[in-house]
Amino acid sequence: MKEYLDTLKHILVHGEVKKNRTGVDTTGVFGYMTRMNLGKGFPATTTKKLAWKSVVSELLWFLEGSGDERRLAELRFGKDRSELMNKKTIWTQNAEALYWKERGFQEHDGDLGRVYGVQWRRWRTATGAQINYDTDPPSAEIVWKETDQIKNIVEKIKHDPSDRRIILNAWNPGELDQMALPPCHLLAHFNVRSGKVDCLLYQRSCDTFLGVPFNIASYALLTHMIAHVTGLEAGDFIHTFGDLHIYENHLEQVDEQLTRVPMKLPKLWLNPSVTNIDDFTMDDIKLVGYESHAAIKGDMAV
């Protein structure tokens, strides 16, 4: 994970202090890129422990098209929601945030609105309106067409791999106010060459200590899964950063992490019997040979 550690160093050398909506200042830069060859090992952070089960459960949650934080808890802990009253996920703070509850879009506890997975699997386009004449005065209801971007990506890679439009987009400007958190990792562009699938991710806002290792692992895993179900191999993961920053309450943790010597990267195992991207479960995805230094805790700015 030299690429990630070099990213941290780049921010510390070239970053400027900036205020933001959370109230916790950041040191950051604008615009940066890394490239990782996924064939050389899975890019799980080894200078601190990666929350692997959280990575896998969140990605499976996205792929389900869910915006229900309690469904994420079910995937993460393998229990029915009635048993999960006190179990928290990486999305719990967002689901419970006052700013989100006050907007009035939350239909039930844990509802995060039209976040990542909803956009991935059920992107909406208005196609017209249906008039209801049973009301006085008559009312109109929007008619929606839904687009399954993940299904389209898999089909394009299988049948038209030279297509330059194999894109996964989570940034829906018309629905940003219906999301508990607008997407940070918002656009992934897939490319097929020489029997391999590459992924180029654009991330607008990048919490480099807490979030970026998680994002790297998530999109590396997604790339492997897409390659797996299309009969290809995972190629390169290219990560393009917009606002790349370290929160001021993470600076000591970053200094500690940079003193640690990286370990050998693990390998990813995907169940060979799974051929449909919707059929993966937690048991079908494993890291083999993962060793790391101890976890380093840091508070998330919301």
Instruction: Return the residue matching tokens 């995937």.
Output: 75
CA dist., res. 146 & res. 162, Å (int): 25
DSSP 294: P
Give one word for 194, left, alpha or beta, with left for phi > 0 and alpha for psi -120 to 50: left
Q: Are 150 and 121 in contact (CB under 8 A)?
A: yes
Instruction: For residue 39, give the nearest of 278, 226, 292, 223 by alpha carbon.
Output: 223
Separation CA 241–CA 16 (nearest Å): 16
Runs of H (alpha helix) within 135-294: 149-159, 211-229, 251-257
To which H or E segment does residue 99 belong? helix 98-101
Phi (first) and psi of residue 198, to 5 degrees: -100, 155
Helix (H) or strand (E) holding 258: none
Query: DSSP 3-state assignment of 288?
Result: strand
Partnered with residue 68 across adjacent β-strands are 111
Q: Are 265 and 42 in contact (CB under 8 A)?
A: yes
**How far is the C-alpha of 197 from the C-alpha of 2, rounded, in Å?**
22
Sign of CA pseudo-dihedral 173, 177, 179, 182:
positive
Residue 52 is encoded by which pair of tokens?
């692997």
Q: Which of 63, 184, 287, 301 is catalytic?
A: 184
User: Catalytic residue at 184?
Assistant: yes
Catalytic residues: 184
